[in-house]
Amino acid sequence: LAHGLFPYHLNLVADGAEATAVYVTDYSRVDWEIPEDTERKKMPAPTAPDTFADATGLTYVIESDVMGGMGPDLMPFSEPSEAESFADNYGGRTIGYDDIDRSLVDGIQMTGIN
């Protein structure tokens, strides 16, 4: 999300566009597992329609040890308690949709892949 959707979305908003909807993977709807025997922990990237939710109502984990498909990322959950549990288990902290801005996204992109 920090390397694709949100930079694109934020650019459009900066140019005056208004999104009618923004959908992202909702990890509260996904039966995900992170293999412990890999050096780089990575979230799966499901694409089934029922795995998506309105981005504006989700809680996001940032600064986690778990990577998205392109590196450090935002991990969205519809259940705030699941986001908190994820952060407790894999590091990071939780934020809301309204906390996602250009500065945050640029910072995530700059952290690189450890």
- In the block, which residue shows the tokens 């949709």? 97
Closest Cα partner for 75 from 61, 65, 86? Answer: 61
Report long-range pairs for 45-49 (Cβ below 8 Å, ≥24 apart). Answer: 45/69
Residue with more model confidence, 102 or 84: 84
In the sheet with 75-77, reading across from the earlier edge strand, the strands are 75-77, 59-62, 93-96
d(CA 24, CA 58) in angstroms, rounded, equals 9
Q: Residue ranges per domain, the chain?
A: 5-32+42-111
Mean pLDDT of the chain, nearest integer:
89
d(CA 15, CA 34) in angstroms, rounded, equals 38
Say what the pLDDT of residue 25 is.
93
Instruction: For residue 112, name the pLDDT band (cuts at 50, 70, 90).
Output: low
